[in-house]
């Protein structure tokens, strides 16, 4: 039996989710929270198999912060999914960087919610056209090249999903069945998560110095490297944090708890 923790502050949506899983024999709701504080208590007290977290939550934090906390407690990446009716690109990518491995659209029907959770439970990830388009843009960054080399079907897969193909329709166009598609989707989520959260020792040193208000020239001197090398380190660091400058990088690193 797969246990599910639902974190949703809208009463009607919360009730609809509870009803959607009420008659399933393989999925069981083990907890429901309506705000960040309640959810934090539940994820620290026990580990459900699946976390479904709304992005906008009252009382103390948001869904992205909650997903990040769950990833740290349960392992990275964990079985967390964004639960939202909005398609704000920045918010969705924040959630993926935090450790989300799925996206469940509240505006779809309850049967789709159940199918998506089953995908997560079986080590696969749901991916729809809107998110595939966002992923395609994210994977255009040069820092994503190693991931694409490891998963060469990734770009074509994302293009087909962005074009409206479902996982069960990919066999004729890619020779890929539904299970293989779900596994590849999970690997692409994990790539984006790892890209933005795994800092090298040098990048960790750099963001620590930047957090102490050093500029890049001072960082180069402190770290004993050239101006060219510190520029390379900074570009890689910004890419992993999903930012474009020093100020934003420091803010994001503090938000993720990378620096104090």
Indicate whether 26 and 75 sit together in one domain.
Answer: yes
Same domain assignment for residues 86 and 48: yes
Q: Tell me the H-state helices in 127-214.
A: 129-138, 145-150, 154-162, 171-174, 178-197, 201-211
Boundary (domain end) residue, out of 111, 126, 141: 126
One domain, residues 25 and 122: yes
Is 24's pLDDT higher than 80? yes
Q: Read off the pLDDT of each residue in 179-185 and give the average, rounded to a whole number.
A: 97
pLDDT band with cut points at 50, 70 and 90 for residue 98: confident
Structural domain boundaries enclosing 217? 201-255
Is pLDDT above 90 for 186?
A: yes
Q: What percent of the chain has pLDDT over 90?
A: 56
pTM: 0.75
pLDDT at 256 over 70: no
Q: How many CA atoms lie within 13 A of 16 on its CB side?
A: 15
Could you tell me if 98 and 18 lie in one domain?
A: yes
pLDDT digits (tens, 9 = 90+) for 71-91: 878 876 678 998 887 667 777
Per-residue pLDDT tens digits for 30-49: 999 999 899 989 988 888 89
Residue 260 domain flag? no
CA 107/CA 10 separation, integer angstroms = 13
- Assess whether 68 and 171 both reside in one domain: no
CATH number for the domain that contains residue 246:
1.10.10.10
Chosen domain end from 92, 109, 126: 126
Chain-centre distance of CA 230, in angstroms? Answer: 28
Give the CATH number of the domain where residue 67 resides: 3.40.50.2300
At which of 81, 111, 126 does a domain end? 126
Residue 51 binned pLDDT confidence (cut-offs 50, 70, 90): very high
Q: What is the pLDDT of residue 230?
A: 95
């Amino acid at each position: 039996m797969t246990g599910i923790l639902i974190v949703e502050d809208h009463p009607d949506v919360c009730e609809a989710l509870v009803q959607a899983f009420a008659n399933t024999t393989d999925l069981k709701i083990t907890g429901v929270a309506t705000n960040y504080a309640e959810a934090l208590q539940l994820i620290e007290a026990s580990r459900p198999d699946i976390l479904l977290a709304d992005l906008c939550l009252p009382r103390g934090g948001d869904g992205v912060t909650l997903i990040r906390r769950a990833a740290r407690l349960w392992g990275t990446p964990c079985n967390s999914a964004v639960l939202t009716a909005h398609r704000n690109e920045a918010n969705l990518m924040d959630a993926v960087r935090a450790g989300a491995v799925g996206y469940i659209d509240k505006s779809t029907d309850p049967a789709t919610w159940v199918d998506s959770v089953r995908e997560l439970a079986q080590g696969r990830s749901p991916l729809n056209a809107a998110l595939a388009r966002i992923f395609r843009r994210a994977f255009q960054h040069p820092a994503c090249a190693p991931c694409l080399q490891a998963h060469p079907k990734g770009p074509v897969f994302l293009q087909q999903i962005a074009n409206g193909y479902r996982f069960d329709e990919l066999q004729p166009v890619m020779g890929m069945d539904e299970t293989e598609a779900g596994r590849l989707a999970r690997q692409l989520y994990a790539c984006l998560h790892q890209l933005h959260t795994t800092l090298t020792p040098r990048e960790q040193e750099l963001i620590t110095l930047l957090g102490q208000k050093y500029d890049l020239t001072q960082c180069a001197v402190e770290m004993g490297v050239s101006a060219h090398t510190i520029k390379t380190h900074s570009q890689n660091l910004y890419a992993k944090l999903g930012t474009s400058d020093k100020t934003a990088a420091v803010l994001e690193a503090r938000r993720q708890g990378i620096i104090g």
